[in-house]
Amino acid sequence: MSISIPHPVPYQGSKRRLAEAILSHVPKNQYKRLIEPFAGSSALTLAAASRNIFPSYVIGDALQPLIQLWDGVIDDPTEIADQYNILWHREREKPIEAYYEIRSEFNIDHCPAKLLYLLARCVKNAVRFNAAGEFNQSPDKRRKGTQPKRMSAELLAAHLVLAGRTKAVYGDFLSLFLSAQEGDFFYLDPPYQGTSQGRDQRYIAGVSRDRIIESLEILNEKRIPFILSYDGSCGEKNYGSPIPETVAHRILLDVGRSSQSTLNGCDDVTIESLYISHFIPVVPKAAPTIRSLNDFLAQSTLFP
């Protein structure tokens, strides 16, 4: 089977390239709802929805403008696309100055379309916040971000696979764990250890390892299956300690050569840990071929 997976929200750490490998551990047609409490780019939700693995989906995040952005994708992607187009074209005369103006505006009005612009335009698509909760990442001076026409196509394609069966929820992730019920399946991609606290504050809210383990125990007590992406390594650098085997089974995914390593002229390979719930049965590992977004849109009857 051939599918297309839209990716409208660029986000450093997105599991877009690993989505098929991760979903190969999910038995198809056995669960009613996929819940992704740390949405970000919602890469797993988009990949699963593109393959119709679950009847319904919930995406959650502690960053309210991000959830408002996903609400816009689900309900009215044209409005988001139009706003993005206006923001993108503000750069024509003074691109760097325009970026900083839009960033300042976002830190006041928290407009979801401005967040999309900042994510598409900032260095490495990497969200960064200061201690006051303000977006403070710098612009990427080598590129202008996603072209409006392409962004519009991505937003519309994401809307097509999410509309009518997806709910976006703002708030602390724990509420989704506590409300989990039979038929739910969780995919978790929280901030990795060492990337959200102290001087390296990459996320609006950090999540401690102990809190993650406690939350997973809630799912285990309810016998709710989950897959967790949480720690890993790049060359000699390790990100966090493994989750106990009593909580979930650990496997390692070879992500390939690090982009940062490539920029530094090194050959460091990134390895990510994937934690598989003990309540997930073993399934064959098979992934479909992914066709281009353009082919997907050309074959769709919903786009002129």
Taking the C-alpha atoms of residue 54 and residue 226, their distance in angstroms, rounded to an integer, is: 14
In this prediction the pTM is 0.83
Query: What are the angstrom distances between the C-alpha of 276 and each of 22, 39, 231?
Result: 10, 19, 13
Owner of token pair 């002129």: 304
SS3 state at 207: coil
Q: What pLDDT does residue 255 have?
A: 73
- Does residue 75 contact residue 121 with C-beta atoms inside 8 Å? no
What crossing angle do the helices spanning 43-50 and 148-162 adopt, rounded to 10°?
60
Using the predicted structure, report yes or no on whether residue 261 has a pLDDT greater than 70: no
What is the per-residue pLDDT for 24? 92
pLDDT one-digit tens code per residue, 35-82: 999 999 999 999 999 999 999 999 999 999 999 999 999 999 999 999
pLDDT for residue 298: 52
Question: What pLDDT score was predicted for residue 233?
Answer: 58
- The SS3 call for residue 61 is strand
Which has more pLDDT, 275 or 91? Answer: 275
User: What domains can be seen in the chain, in order of their start residue?
Assistant: 2-76+150-299 (3.40.50.150), 78-148 (1.10.1020.10)
- Bridge partners, 36 (sequence order): 59
Bridge partners for 279 per DSSP: none
The predicted-structure confidence for 229-252, as pLDDT tens digits, reads as follows 987 656 566 566 789 999 999 988
228-267 exposure pattern, b = at least 16 Cβ within 10 A, e = fewer: bbbbbbbeeeebbeebeeebbebeebebeebeebeeeeee
**pLDDT of the residue at 193:** 54
Instruction: Return the percentage of the chain with pLDDT > 90, whole number.
Output: 60
pLDDT in tens, 168-220: 999 999 999 999 999 999 999 998 554 444 444 444 556 888 999 999 999 99
Which residue type, as a one-letter code, is found at position 264?
A: N
- Residues 106-132 pLDDT 10s: 999 999 999 999 999 999 888 888 888
| Amino acid identity at 211 | R
Q: In the prediction, which pLDDT does 131 show?
A: 83
Are the C-beta atoms of residues 122 and 137 closer than 8 Å to each other?
A: yes
Kindly indicate the confidence band of residue 301, based on its pLDDT and cuts at 50, 70 and 90.
Answer: very low
Q: What is the pLDDT of residue 109?
A: 98
